[in-house]
């Protein structure tokens, strides 16, 4: 089992920045990738970013909508993954979820992630 706890959400004005954190505990050695997803009211959960831990360790992947604005990174010593979000837009408003993948699969699909955090709200005002 892997437990994930997100933090760092909040209210920010358009153009501002936030950094989300996802602290992992439990059998973290089994994790091969971690990702961030988001879900806005009335919309499906969508991929935001992912970072790999095995094979091509450290490779990052981003949704087109956040490329150049968001950066995913990891601190192995702290078992923590971060999502630095810059130049935020009102359309970035959503609940952001951290997820862990323990068996390699398509990083963009939520169904390929096995553990999820509880989510953290990000609200961007115009």
Q: Which of 12-16, 46-50, 101-105, 120-124 has the lowest mean pLDDT?
A: 101-105
At 115 the pLDDT is: 96
pLDDT digits (tens, 9 = 90+) for 19-48: 999 999 998 888 889 999 999 999 999 999
At 55 the pLDDT is: 62
- What 3-state DSSP class applies to 28? helix
pLDDT digits (tens, 9 = 90+) for 57-112: 689 999 999 999 999 999 988 999 999 999 999 999 999 999 999 887 889 999 99
- What 3-state DSSP class applies to 26? strand
Reported as type and span, the H/E element at residue 112 is: none
pLDDT at 56 over 70: no
Q: Which is nearest to 37 in space by CA: 87, 83, 69, 86?
A: 83
- What 3-state DSSP class applies to 56? coil
With a CB cutoff of 8 Å and minimum separation 6, the contacts of 78 are 23
Phi and psi torsions of 19, nearest 5°? -125, 120
Buried b (16+ CB within 10 A) or exposed e, 50-87: bbbbeeeeeeebbbeebeeebbbebeeeebbbbbebee
Six token digits for residue 39: 């879900």
At 53 the pLDDT is: 82
């Amino acid at each position: 089992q892997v437990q994930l706890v997100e933090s760092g959400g909040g209210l920010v004005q358009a153009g501002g920045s936030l950094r989300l954190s996802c602290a992992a505990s439990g059998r973290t050695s089994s994790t091969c990738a971690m990702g961030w997803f988001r879900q806005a009211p009335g919309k499906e959960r969508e991929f935001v970013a992912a970072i790999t831990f095995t094979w091509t360790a450290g490779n990052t992947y981003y949704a087109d909508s956040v490329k150049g604005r968001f950066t995913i990174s990891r601190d192995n010593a702290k078992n923590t993954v971060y999502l630095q979000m810059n130049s935020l837009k009102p359309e970035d408003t959503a609940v952001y979820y951290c997820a862990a993948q323990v068996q390699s699969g398509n990083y963009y699909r939520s169904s390929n992630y096995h553990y999820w955090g509880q989510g953290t709200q990000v609200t961007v005002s115009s």
